[in-house]
Structure 1
Amino acid sequence: MVPKVDAFRTGDVLNGRQAMPAGSFLGHLPPGTWPLLVSEWGADSRVHQRDEELPIGPADEQVHIVLGGCVRQERHPFGTAEGAPRITRFRGVGELLGEAKLIEPHAEVRTTCLTTTWIMPCSAQRMNLLLRKHSSIQLALLRSLEDRNRTDEMLYGTMTRPPLDRVAGLLAHLAEVAGTPGPDHPDHITILGPSQRDLAEALLLGVSTVESTLRLLRLPAADGGLSADGVLRSGYRKFVVTDLPSLRALAGLA
C-alpha cells in the first residue's frame, strides 16, 4: 500500500511527475524506465521514522531507493572499537542505498533515518536481474555512483578548504537533495534531520567550528555576517536555507 504521508507527494513520485535531484539514480533514469521499478516494488514502499535504522545488514537481502527524506550512512573501515574512525555521509532523494549488496550479498552499511523517510525496498537479486535485462537502468546506476563519488570528494574530501566553504557546500547539497520548499516562501528550503554534530562528524570538523560557521551564515552583513540578509535560519535538527544561490556562491559552487 502506498504510504499516506503528508510530507511526500506520493502520487507525483510514483507516477514520475516529480523531478529528481540531478546526479541521483532516479535523476539519471531515462524516460519510461521508472514504471518498471514501480511495478516491481512500488507497493512495498514504506515509511521509516527518524532515528530508525534501515535493514542493510549482512543478513538483509535488499537495496533501497530513497523516495523522500534523508539518511545518514556510517562506515567503520577500522572496526567499531571505541574511538575508531568512522566515515559519515548523507544521502537524499533519488539515491540507491546498499549498492554493495549487488556484488557482495553480505555487505553492510549502518543507515539511519534523519527524519521521516520514504523508502522503496528492492530485492538485490531481482535488482541484479533487472540491471542485466535493461542496460539503460544499469547505466543510470553507474552514472549516479560516479556522480556520488565526485560529489563526496568535493564536499567531504577537500580538507584544505576553509570551514565556511565546506559547511556552506554541505548545506547547499542537502538543500538540493533533501530539502523541502516552504509553502509560503518556495525559495526557502527546509532541511530536517541533521544536527550540528552530524555536520561536524561528516566534515571532520569540531562542533564549535561548525557552530561558529553557522552563526556567520545566519547573520546579516550589517552585523558581521557574509550576506546582505543572511542565508540561513536554524533550530533543533532543522536548517532553513533562505538564499540558496548566495549559499552556493559562498561555497564556491556557483
Structure 2
Amino acid sequence: MTFWKRNEPLQIGSQFYAIDVTTGRIDRDKRPIRLSSVFERNPFLRELPAELRANFQEMAQSSSREHRRGTELRGPVGGMAVHILLRGCVAEKTKIGSTATTVRILGAGAVLGCMEVFDEKMAPPAATCLNDTWTMSVPMDRMRMLAESYPSLMKAIGISVTDRVEATERIYHRNTAKAEQRLAGLLAHLVMHCAVPSSKCDFKVEGPAQSDLAEALSLSSGSIEAALLSLRKKEIVITGYRSYEFPSLRRLLDASGMSFPPESLAGALASF
C-alpha cells in the first residue's frame, strides 16, 4: 500500500509528518507539510501527470466538500459519482447476496467508485463518513470519459483497485490469525490512512466504533472487545469513545503478527 512506503510522510489530519524509523515516532524536528500540498501527495492523484493533476485541482474548487460524521456519500440513490478521499475515514458496505455484506474502512487516497469505472453494471456500495471527511467528487460519466482519454488516469484507477485487493488480502482475510493480531493489523492500517491529531500520542484513529471493526473483520463484538482489552493491558492501545491512540507504532505492528517488505515503512520499523 502506498502509505507503507519507507520514505512516505504520514498524513495526520491537516499536516504531513516524517516518521523516524529508529524510534517509530513522528520526527518533530522536521517542519510538517501543510495540507495545501494534498494534491501532490494524495496516493491517487499523484499518479497523474502534472497537467492532469492540475485539472483535478481546478475541478476541486467546486467539487470538494467537507462532510460531517454520519454523512452518506454513496448508496442506491446518488451513487453515480466517484469520490476521491482527501482526508477522513469512511466505511464502505458492499451487499453480497440478499443478506450478507462486507465492510471496508477507507482513508486518504481511496477512490470510492473505482471498480464501477470499469464495470457499469456494478451496484454502488453504500459509503458513510465515520468522522469529519474531505472528499472531491466527480460524476461517474465524466470520470469514465476522462479515463478513456487519459491512459495515465486509467492506470491510476487500476492501481487504486489493486491497492484494495492487496489490503483485503493483507488486512481483512487473515482468518487463521488470532483476533488480537487481526485487530492490531487493521488498526495499524487505519493509522497509515486515517490518522488524526492527538494531544497524548503521535498516532490516533477516531471514528470507527467497535461494531465497525467487528463487521470489517467478520468477528463478533465480544471478540473485538476481548482483543481491545488485551491490547490495552499491553499498553499498545488507549481507547476512548470511537477513538484509538497508540503510544508506539512499532508495538502495534509487532502485535499484528504480520510480515512486511523491507523497503516499506513497516518493514523498516520492524528491523530496529
Structure 2 length as normaliser, TM-score?
0.76
Q: Which amino acid aligns with 1:202?
A: A
1:25 counterpart (30, 33, 44): 44
| Partner residue, 1:115 | 131
| Partner residue, 2:109 | 94
Q: For 1:189 and 1:18, locate their aligned partners in 2 and report how far apart those are by CA, in whole Å.
A: 23
2:237 counterpart (208, 222, 232): 232
Summarize the Cα distance change of 1:160–1:115 in structure 2 as closer, same or farther, 3 Å threshold.
same
Q: For 1:45 and 1:72, locate their aligned partners in 2 and report how far apart those are by CA, in whole Å.
A: 19
Q: Does 1:218 align with 2:232?
A: yes
1:197 counterpart (193, 196, 211): 211
Q: Does the 8 A contact of 2:184 with 2:252 survive in 1?
A: yes
Q: Which amino acid aligns with 1:73?
A: E
Q: For 1:200 and 1:236, locate their aligned partners in 2 and report how far apart those are by CA, in whole Å.
A: 16
C-alpha displacement at 1:204, in angstroms?
A: 1.1
Q: For 2:204 and 2:106, locate their aligned partners in 1 and report how far apart those are by CA, in whole Å.
A: 16
C-alpha displacement at 1:128, in angstroms?
A: 1.6
Summarize the Cα distance change of 1:132–1:174 in structure 2 as closer, same or farther, 3 Å threshold.
same
| Partner residue, 1:222 | none
Q: For 1:40 and 1:199, locate their aligned partners in 2 and report how far apart those are by CA, in whole Å.
A: 34
| Partner residue, 1:159 | 175
User: Does 27-36 or 130-139 show the bigger shift?
Assistant: 27-36
1:104 counterpart (103, 107, 120): 120
Q: Which amino acid aligns with 2:193?
A: V
Q: Does the 8 A contact of 2:74 with 2:128 survive in 1?
A: no
Q: Does 1:150 align with 2:160?
A: no
Q: For 2:209 and 2:164, locate their aligned partners in 1 and report how far apart those are by CA, in whole Å.
A: 22
Q: Does the 8 A contact of 1:178 with 1:191 survive in 2?
A: yes
Q: For 2:185 and 2:49, locate their aligned partners in 1 and report how far apart those are by CA, in whole Å.
A: 28
Q: Which amino acid aligns with 2:88?
A: G
C-alpha displacement at 1:216, in angstroms?
A: 1.7
Q: For 1:248 and 1:32, locate their aligned partners in 2 and report how far apart those are by CA, in whole Å.
A: 38
| Partner residue, 2:187 | 171
Summarize the Cα distance change of 1:75–1:218 in structure 2 as closer, same or farther, 3 Å threshold.
same
Q: Does the 8 A contact of 2:47 with 2:152 survive in 1?
A: no
2:87 counterpart (68, 71, 91): 68
Q: For 1:215 and 1:158, locate their aligned partners in 2 and report how far apart those are by CA, in whole Å.
A: 20
Q: Which amino acid aligns with 1:55?
A: R
C-alpha displacement at 1:15, in angstroms?
A: 4.0
Summarize the Cα distance change of 1:167–1:66 in structure 2 as closer, same or farther, 3 Å threshold.
same
C-alpha displacement at 1:243, in angstroms?
A: 1.0
Q: For 1:29 and 1:214, locate their aligned partners in 2 and report how far apart those are by CA, in whole Å.
A: 39
Summarize the Cα distance change of 1:250–1:60 in structure 2 as closer, same or farther, 3 Å threshold.
closer
* Cα deviation 1:40-67 (Å, max 9, x = unaligned): 2332211111111113435543111111
Q: For 2:120 and 2:36, locate their aligned partners in 1 and report how far apart those are by CA, in whole Å.
A: 29
Structure 2 unaligned spans of 5+: 1-12, 16-32, 260-266, 268-272
C-alpha displacement at 1:30, in angstroms?
A: 5.0
Structure 1 unaligned spans of 5+: 1-6, 220-224
Summarize the Cα distance change of 1:18–1:132 in structure 2 as closer, same or farther, 3 Å threshold.
closer
C-alpha displacement at 1:157, in angstroms?
A: 1.1
Q: For 1:30 and 1:203, locate their aligned partners in 2 and report how far apart those are by CA, in whole Å.
A: 36
Aligned-pair identity in percent equals 30
Secondary structure of the residue aligned to 2:84 is strand
Q: For 1:55 and 1:105, locate their aligned partners in 2 and report how far apart those are by CA, in whole Å.
A: 16
Q: Does the 8 A contact of 1:28 with 1:144 survive in 2?
A: no
Query: How many pairs does the alignment contain?
Result: 229
Summarize the Cα distance change of 1:217–1:152 in structure 2 as closer, same or farther, 3 Å threshold.
same
Summarize the Cα distance change of 1:26–1:17 in structure 2 as closer, same or farther, 3 Å threshold.
closer
| Partner residue, 1:4 | none
C-alpha displacement at 1:19, in angstroms?
A: 3.3
Q: Does 1:141 align with 2:174?
A: no
Q: Does the 8 A contact of 1:74 with 1:109 survive in 2?
A: yes
Secondary structure of the residue aligned to 2:74 is coil
